[in-house]
Amino acid sequence: MKQSLGKAEKLKSKIVISKLFEEGRILKSFPLKLVYLPLTNNSQDHQVAFSVPKRSFKLAVDRNYLKRLLREAYRKNKPVLGEEETPYALMFIYLGRKKFSLPELEKSIQKLLTKFREQE
């Protein structure tokens, strides 16, 4: 498995995102929440998106910085998912009110991804 986060792996479809929030299942590991749903389209890879609420961080600079850290933490820990036959749509939502460092976010993403592997 490549340790990159390419264009095909980014979740951009508004239809899939709305379905994800309506029918998706949830896992939490502070300061993150993972919402996931099996994909029905012909994608081979998991599709992933990251969200940091404007309510918690007013400045776009802070939100973008945290999303950048989340993408990097996911990219490094993507091999935890392994190779699955069914691809999933994944959405990581930042729940914290303060900025966490990259190692702390990596631990949280590792916990979420291992919980996700055990669930499915």
Q: Average pLDDT in the 88-109 region?
A: 95
Looking at domain 7-119, its CATH architecture is: 2-Layer Sandwich (3.30)
| 16-73 pLDDT, tens digit each | 999 999 999 999 999 999 999 998 877 778 899 999 999 999 999 999 999 999 999 9
Q: Is 6 exposed, middle or buried (0-12, 13-18, 19+ CB in 10 A)?
A: exposed
Query: What pLDDT sits at residue 62?
Result: 96
Domain boundaries, the chain: 7-119
